[in-house]
Amino acid sequence: MISFKKKGNRPLHRGILLTLFLLSACATVPLTERKSLHLIPDSELLSLSFQQYAEVLKKSKLSNDPVKVQMVKRVGERIARASEEFLRKSKLQSDIKNYKWESNLIEDDKVVNAWCMPGGKVAVYTGILPLTQDDTGLAVVMGHEVAHAMAKHGNERMSEGLLVQLGGVGLSVALAQKPAQTQQIFMAAYGVGAQVGFMLPYSRLHESEADRIGLVLMAKAGYDPREAVPFWQRMNEKGGSRPPEFLSTHPAPETRIKDIKSHIPEALKYYYKGN
């Protein structure tokens, strides 16, 4: 039996309690099975997500090009169905109720960006369409972004942000005490506002996980995952000069393409099975 009554043991007591709390807040990323930190309840994050998504759409100009809009809706619906099937197969069917799928195309040719908030709230900017070129290229992007949401990378980044910047307070407390800063952390966590390179806010680890999961999602949706390679080659050409990989929060283009190629055989199993 260990006693924490003595004054000198209080730091140890707090340390053990903090460790137990962090362990209890761990979740498992589907497919990769990595343990990740999720301090924010889904219900709180979903409420903020739906609110912020509506605000972004209100302030943005939505595309009125029927061909482009229908492409985004069409690909979004197929990725959504594949995602729910993937969650069921991963024994995460309880998460499906949290998704209120919606995909919108924002008219801004200068922004090469796309993102997905919790609950399946997706935005694609017209600036990325010259690089996606067609439905399959768009499926690479949307599959990748939905993979971020499915893996709850945003929750992980929000949790880290609340710990580091706001001392680990709960989301509801942070919103009440420091609403502007908390909303800024949220928007940064989900890549809203990034001008070029739609994966800008995520770490190399998150990017690699989203690449792998995204390939499976697009394959399950009926899109050839091998087309991810030429898309990333086009992204590489668009990016111009880049810093060395160890200075970047993202995989170097050559590394990313190499890793994607290594995951294609896994994704093809889902593609061939569905076709």
* Residues annotated as part of the active site: 145
Contact 38, 156 (CB under 8 A): yes
Nearest of 91, 193, 76 to residue 135 by alpha carbon? 76
Distance CA 99, CA 120 (A): 5
Q: Which of 226, 60, 219, 209 is nearest to 127 (CA)?
A: 60
The two three-digit tokens of residue 2, written as one number: 């260990």
- DSSP-based three-state secondary structure for 244: coil
Residue 71 to residue 76: CA distance in whole angstroms: 8
Structural tokens at position 112? 């090469």
Q: Rounded to whole angstroms, how far apart are CA atoms 185 and 188?
A: 5
Q: How many CA atoms lie within 13 A of 225 on its CB side?
A: 31
* Whether the Cβ atoms of residue 72 and residue 90 lie closer than 8 Å to each other: no
User: What's the chain's length in residues?
Assistant: 275
- Tell the burial category of 178 from Cβ atoms under 10 Å away from its Cβ (0-12, 13-18, 19+): middle
Non-local CB neighbours of 3 within 8 Å, separated by 6+ positions: 9
